[in-house]
Amino acid sequence: MNVLEKLDLLLNRALMIIGGVALIALMLLATGNVMLRIFRLPFAGAYEILSFLGAVVTASALGYTQRTRGHIVVDILSEKYPATVKRVVGAVSNLVIIAFFAIVTWQLFLWGMKISETGELSETLKIIYHPFIYIVSLGFGALTLTCVLDFFETLLKSEEVGP
C-alpha cells in the first residue's frame, strides 16, 4: 500500500506542476489575446489552444483535489448513519467511482491512440492534439488511483468515514 501511496503522491504532484504551467500559459495567452485585440491583431486559434489548456488544467487537478477533499460533499442523510453504515456506503461509492473513472481513463487513452494513429490535427491551427488527450487521460487515471486508495482507507478505518 505504501508504494501505491507514494506513486499517487508523485503522480498528483507532477500533474499539479503540469496543470500550473498550463494555467500560466492559459492566462498569458488569454491576456495577450485581449490586449492585441485592441490593435486588431488577435492570436489566430487562441480559442482552440485555450480549450486544450483548460482541459489540461482541469484534469491535472482531479487527483489532488480528491486527495485533499477539496470537492463538495453533500452528506445531509449520510451524516446521521452509524459508522458501520457510513463505511459500507463509502466503500460502495468508491467502487462505483473507481469503475466509472477507470472506464473514462481507458476510453480517453483509446481516443488519444486513435487520434495519434490517424494523424488528425486540430481544426484551426492544424497542430497535433493527442498529447492533450493523453494528459487528460493521465489526470483521470490519477483520480482513479486516488479513489482506489480511498477505498482501502475506507475499509481499514475504524472510525467514521465520509464518502
Which neighbouring-strand residues pair with 121? Answer: 128
Mean pLDDT of 134-151: 96
Best CA proximity match to 12, nearest among 111, 127, 108, 141 = 141
| % of the chain exceeding 70 in pLDDT | 96
For 93-140, how does the pLDDT look when each residue is reduced to its tens digit (9 = 90+)? Answer: 999 999 999 999 999 999 999 999 999 999 999 999 999 999 999 999
Strand partners, 128: 121
pLDDT band at 84 (very low <50, low <70, confident <90, very high): confident
Q: What is the pLDDT of residues 8-59, one digit of tens each?
A: 999 999 999 999 999 999 999 999 999 999 998 888 899 999 999 999 999 9
Rounded to the nearest integer, the mean pLDDT of the chain is 91
Question: Of the candidates 27, 66, 39, which has an alpha carbon nearest to the alpha carbon of residue 146?
Answer: 66
CA distance 146 to 102: 11
pTM: 0.88
Cα 17 to Cα 132: distance, rounded to the nearest angstrom: 15
**In the prediction, which pLDDT does 1 show?**
67
- Note the residue count of the chain: 163
Contact partners, residue 44, CB within 8 Å, separation at least 6: 124, 125
